[in-house]
Amino acid sequence: MQYKSLKYMLALQEERVLATAAKRLDISQSSLSLFLLRLEEEAGTPLYDRKMHCMTKAGELYCDGARKILNLHDKAMDDIKTRPDSKAILFGADICISEIVPSLINSLLEKIAMAYPQLRLQVSFLPEARLRDLIQQKKLDLAFSYFQRSGIDNLRRREIMAETFILVVPKGFKPYNANPFTALNSLKYISMFRDTSIRSACDALLFVHGISPFVQIESGSYAFTQSLMETGSYTTIIPSGAVGLFERFDLYPLESEVQAVSGFYLHGHERETPQFLCLMDVFEQLLHAMYTESCGIHFPGGTSDEPA
């Protein structure tokens, strides 16, 4: 259960009406209803009286506990602020993500530093595989990266964002029969970021749609991909967060269940300290502020997967 879930219940308790609480939380009513149903299934009893628009006795007990937990959360952040000798958090960022907007991670960290000046972060920008290795070796405390929703490692994952994939084609190029995937039969395909989750997701997307590009060119950076695209002979697939780098080309959203998923890698439950949870929550809030209005990007709710 994430801190955000506790806030959902407190908002519902205070607003009483699902629609009003959902509006306050900036989520859809259906998302809040689904969250409530899952929580009630977990609790084994109704928590909210939908006819009377109020909490049941069990729901009131839950909210009392939620309020206490959130108070402890706030106290933990106060302790972080007032502790000058606190150990630095070793934080890793996926270079695939940092390349999309070079200043993205830095601006996020600057905002965190402004809000929590005593929270010291030591940052490394590394490939996803290296981040996983360092988290497993406990040489990094936390990493933000693209990842697959499940894996054979012992790492835990907290999903933050899911991005629709976008097909990029030369300006003015018209896919046959308005089907974006037909561009892959006419243009050379730039396959990006070998041995990464973002590459695996792109490959899965093509496989699901029965596409096998005849010509593939490898690229390890968006800059190189842009230069190839300028020739007018290439196409590529990018996550929605990267559209700002390809605005001078034509962009086609690819409707599919296959998405680019990103979030936090952490090693086991020992990392679920108030300090780490606060950092992840602040990071997620800032990402919401940056991308909420962006097409093709949504926030599944910060779920955390157990290791396979």
**Each residue of 22-49: pLDDT tens digit?**
898 888 888 889 889 988 888 899 999 9
Per-residue pLDDT tens for 208-237? 888 888 778 998 888 899 999 999 999 999
SS3 70: helix
What pLDDT does residue 303 have? Answer: 42
What pLDDT does residue 301 have? Answer: 61
Domain 89-160+261-305: top CATH class: alpha beta
199: which 2 tokens? 């590459």
Q: What is the identity of the amino acid at 11?
A: A
**What is the mean predicted confidence (pLDDT) over 266-278?**
66
Q: Which single residue is written with the structure tokens 């559209």?
A: 243
Q: Which single residue is written with the structure tokens 């950092």?
A: 279
Closest C-alpha among 119, 163, 162, 164 to residue 142: 119
What pLDDT does residue 68 have? Answer: 87
Regarding pTM above 0.85, the answer is no
The answer to whether 3-81 and 165-254 have equal CATH topology is: no
Q: Is the pLDDT of residue 255 over 50?
A: yes
Rounded to 5°, angle at Cα 234 from 230 and 235: 110
Q: Is the pLDDT of residue 51 over 80?
A: yes
| CB 301, CB 4: distance < 8 Å | yes
Band of residue 302 on the pLDDT scale cut at 50, 70, 90: very low
**What is the mean predicted confidence (pLDDT) over 171-179?**
86
What pLDDT does residue 308 have? Answer: 35
How far apart are alpha carbons 143 and 111 in whole angstroms? 18
What pLDDT does residue 210 have? Answer: 87
Chain-centre distance of CA 99, in angstroms? 16
3-81 to CATH, choices 2.40.30.260, 1.10.10.10, 3.30.2350.10, 3.40.50.300: 1.10.10.10
Parse the chain into domains and list their residue ranges.
3-81, 89-160+261-305, 165-254
Q: What is the identity of the amino acid at 44?
A: G
Q: Is the pLDDT of residue 169 over 90?
A: yes
| CB 234, CB 217: distance < 8 Å | yes
Lowest mean pLDDT among 32-41, 125-134, 277-286, 299-308: 299-308
Give CATH superfamily name and number for 165-254: Periplasmic binding protein-like II (3.40.190.10)
What pLDDT does residue 5 have? Answer: 76
**What is the mean predicted confidence (pLDDT) over 190-199?**
89
Cα separations in angstroms, 45 against 32, 35, 40: 17, 14, 6
| CB 222, CB 173: distance < 8 Å | no
**What is the mean predicted confidence (pLDDT) over 138-143?**
88
